[in-house]
Chain A
């Protein structure tokens, strides 16, 4: 187990150590640890690649997309599970079909749709894309959970005279909290780390997200690996930090969520 662990850690060590090395140190050895915690790479990467702006873009797009996806996904699951029983399977299957279709099939028509709507190069295009493409997984997770819950509380709320919207917001949505955690975790990681769609929609604009910014940064500073690694660290760290704090929930979310 020990040799495997060391081999597994080696790339992570390279990533961290490279980001703190000066150009001279990298030229001397690609694996030796840095002499001191040189922060110049981070300063240059942050400023010249405008990674601060890219990080705000990523945060904004991810937060808005996930919030909308959680809300309308939970609503849809509520309508499917507590709606007409005879049609509920058909409705669920219609959403699940989306999980099997590779994004590549709709890539060209969706790109044209965004272009014709004048949405390319805006955050709105990316948010619409994420919310729509997150629906299958979100609806799948919410329906799976809601099916196991007894409708007693919701019915009690309805008898008390609450409207549907109120019953959903005050009774159903809070009941869904355990699975909402899983939905947020899985969707956030997929959205934050996504590359191809933001590359197509936002490349070359100040609206680009972190993975796209680091990619173009690498093209610009082709051989200045210290800088590139600092940029990579900036893009990977936010999710990694959250992961190390919530690791148990994240791992359970992935293992349990995908098992259904």
Chain B
């Protein structure tokens, strides 16, 4: 590589200084930063991310339970997963959480961004406020909402005070409601993130477009669908992909609030992966569950990237 550079270097760049102080004309065109600058980051990244991920991907095809014996069992773990009711429920719940969180949180985030972007006096205060829960540890948010949902707790009391006593129910104790209660608390925690991404997108749209549309007599609805929505494409892709990948991995809040219950009604892939691996010591099976999760996340990222690329071509 260095010889190739040395042979064509001087001819290609006559302006490059070629003093005798430089060793053997190595950096004829551009002085390249020595690659040992990369080493510390690469070493730690390899130890913490690359090696464990590859090893985890391999364990997924074994029956490893922590001892010295590891047997390659092919697709046995995945067959087991499909026959395991808790695992199937957790796969279904994980997808349900990801889709509903993405749709509702992005929708709410967009509405908030639109409301704050139009000249409301309290805009900065409200923006700060709606983003604030993002700063809180998920564990704390989980504990807070667990308390809010307790029978006769804050939510029930507030609903009764508003004359909505009839909707009161066992928010975390009923297997048909618990998942939605958890989803609502996560939306409260994260909607500020979606809002902030949309606000940044909205602020990138030039005012002249709206002014021109107003002169042409366009209605607010028409302006939204003809200007705002198409120009927000990038922000929508980022916000939805971010929400979807993070909600697929959702762990802390569910672990704290329901532990997966009642029954398997709020069980997620992250939760059963943790339980199988670190409570039952089923390292092989736990890794297989993690591999399934990885595949789903990789698929979402792939879809997002192809959408983004298409958008860039159009723009």
Interface residues of A (CB under 8 A from B): 1, 4-5, 8-12, 14-15, 18, 29-31, 72-73, 75-76, 78-80, 82-84, 91, 95, 98, 100-111, 113, 128-129, 131-133, 135-136, 139, 155, 158-159, 164, 168, 189, 192-196, 200, 210-211, 214-215, 218, 225, 228-229, 232, 235-236, 239-240, 243-244, 247, 250-251, 254-256, 258-259
Contacts and interface: CB of A to CB of B under 8 A. Distances in A.
A14 B154 contact: yes
A257 to B, nearest CB: 11
B56 A225 contact: no
B interface residue count range (under 10 / 10 to 19 / 20 to 34 / 35 or more) = 35 or more
B297 interface: yes
Contacts of A129: 48
Given A10-B158, A31-B154, A239-B136, A247 B128 contact: yes
B44 interface: yes
A131 B44 contact: yes
Contact of B47 (A18, A83, A128, A214): A128
A52 B157 CA distance: 34
B24 interface: no
B153 interface: yes
A1 B140 contact: no
Contact of B197 (A4, A15, A30, A255): A255
A31 B41 contact: no
Give the most central of A104, A107, A189: most B CB within 10 Å: A104
Interface of A: prevailing SS = helix
B45 A135 contact: yes
B223 interface: no
Nearest to B108: A4
B142 to A, nearest CB: 9
Contact of B297 (A100, A240, A259): A100
Contacts, number: 246
Contact of B115 (A1, A159, A235): A1
A150 B61 CA distance: 49
Contacts of B199: 255
B132 A240 contact: yes
B282 to A, nearest CB: 10
Contacts of B200: 255-256, 259
B208 to A, nearest CB: 23
B41 A135 contact: yes
A5 B126 contact: yes
Contacts of A72: 40-41, 44
B57 interface: yes
Contacts of A73: 41
Contacts of B38: 75-76, 79-80, 83, 91
